Amino acid sequence: MNTILFENIRIAVESIRSHLLRTILTVLIIGFGIMALVGILTAIDSLKYFLAENFMMMGANTMSIRNRSVKVQVGGHSRPEYYKLITYEDAKRFRDLFEYPSYVSIFVYASNTATLKYESEKTNPNIPVVGSDENYIITAGYELLAGRNFSINEINFGASLAIIGSDLSASLFDNHQDAVGKIVSIGAGKYRIIGILKEKGSSLGFSGDKICILPLNNVMNYFSRPNMSYTINIMTNTTESLDPAKGEATGLFRMIRKLRLNEEDNFDIVMSDNIVEQLIDNMKYITVAATIIGLITLFGAAIGLMNIMLVSVTERTHEIGIRKAMGATRGVIKRQFLAEAIVVGQLGGLLGIVLGIMVGNILSLILGTNFIIPWIWILLGVILCFIVALVSGIYPAVKASKLDPIESLRFE
């Protein structure tokens, strides 16, 4: 059996070499079909990896309680309608009463357009300034590179201290150690830097390393505005305990907001992976579209391959007659032509898979994520090429096997 198989493959390769240009064109058609399929799906996998990596920077065991907003259609225009703001009293009462084993922090955005200055150096006017308590660094997934965190007394007294991201430190100072202890200007205030955060990376345009953290009470005193809404971060000890913690947090915060049983929540509890799950779920439509495009191209490749095989049957009629005269059965002839179609199909598939991985990982290179080898899509490409070759080769192979040997020998 192995001898017959290798003999069929050898004959297929010889036939391919004798019709090289035609074979190359067919291989390219199949290759571009597989490239479209594997390339787009690999790019989607790269994007999914990027989203999962960046949106879950806070950790898979973290959730946030924040003000809820919905979009309301008014006169053909969509505008957000905001629920009751989360006040500091609401947030503080929750932190004091929440007994589930976890870290709880309160924070508020003082500004998203601040500028930090040190002597003649200054940052761009797009720095987010956050007012927080001592647990914010933990619940937001940060680590200290140099210096220290705020103490409880510094939070309570609203000390003029700051913790800055590594990008800000690099922009204002020669090295991170020089930054600790220096005085920077933020708006009209002066703040002493007591800590530098480790590099965290960026997420869809927002850099976690371009952030300035101030004590919560300092922001309440010097950056106060009427519409300030506070956010509560909760980080449980394990991922498995996140859902029970969410249930307890929901019940406690409904009590704090004095909601009746028949009233809906006027706040949102956002899990750390909710956003990425929603975005990835929406990508299924892109995946379907990419699959349809690839299958259409492969359908065209199947027609091209079948045409080549039919032409090959016609050109090799005399050869088929000789083989039958020497004792080749219908099954042998059929397997020879099927082997040829499968070899051409797999060559096209191999080319398409290599090109698809390269094209798909261009997005990985742009996003700065790891190089992805999509084993599932590679396997799918191999299977599809085999199916295309089989479907395209069956009719020509059957036609070749049914040729009359006497008529074939007389064919010119």
DSSP string, 79-111: EEEE-----HHHHHHHHHH--SSEEEEEEEEEE
Write down the pLDDT at residue 213.
Answer: 95
Instruction: Find out whether 403 and 320 touch, Cβ atoms under 8 Å.
Output: yes
pLDDT number for residue 348: 84
Q: Is the distance from CB of 254 to CB of 265 less than 8 angstroms?
A: yes
Q: Within a 10 A sphere around the Cβ of 258, how many other Cβ atoms?
A: 7
**Cα-based distances in Å from 118 to 181, 190, 246:** 12, 10, 42
The Cα 364–Cα 371 span in angstroms is 6
Q: How far apart are CA 333 and CA 389, in angstroms?
A: 16
Predicted local confidence at residue 252, as pLDDT: 94
* Predicted local confidence at residue 73, as pLDDT: 44
Contact call for residues 141 and 164 (beta carbons, < 8 A)? no
Can you tell me the distance from the alpha carbon of 94 to that of 256, in angstroms, rounded to the nearest whole number? 7
Gap between the Cα atoms of 246 and 62, Å rounded: 10
Which residues have C-beta within 8 Å of that of residue 311, sequence separation ≥ 6?
Answer: 22
Q: How far apart are the first and last CA of the chain?
A: 33
CB 114 within 8 A of CB 128: yes
DSSP state of 238: S
Six token digits for residue 226 = 């009427």
Q: Which amino acid is at 239?
A: T
pLDDT at 58: 52
Q: Note the helical H segments in 206-328.
A: 216-222, 242-256, 274-282, 284-315, 317-325
* Helices and strands counted in the chain (H then E): 15, 16
Instruction: Say if strands 267-271 and 102-114 run parallel, antiparallel, or are unpaired.
Output: unpaired
What pLDDT was estimated at residue 218? 94
Q: Structure tokens of 345?
A: 């199909």
Q: DSSP readout, 149-182? A: PPPHHHHHHT-SEEEE-HHHHHHHSSSHHHHTT-
Note the pLDDT of residue 207: 57
CA angle 335–27–46, rounded 5-degree value: 115
Question: Residue 112: in which H helix or E strand, if any?
Answer: strand 102-114
Cα gap 337→11, rounded to integer Å = 9
204: alpha, beta or left? (left if phi > 0; alpha if psi -120 to 50): left
pLDDT tens digits in sequence order for the chain, 412 residues long: 566 666 667 766 776 677 777 778 778 878 887 887 788 788 877 777 776 665 555 556 788 898 876 544 444 455 555 567 899 999 999 999 999 999 999 999 998 889 999 888 888 888 999 999 999 998 888 889 888 999 999 999 999 999 999 888 888 887 766 788 999 999 888 999 999 998 876 554 455 678 999 999 999 999 988 888 999 999 888 777 888 999 999 999 999 998 888 888 888 888 765 656 666 676 777 778 777 877 777 777 777 777 777 777 776 676 767 777 777 777 777 777 777 778 888 888 888 888 888 888 887 777 666 777 778 878 877 887 788 778 777 777 777 777 766 666 655 5
* Alpha carbon distance 90, 77 (integer Å): 33
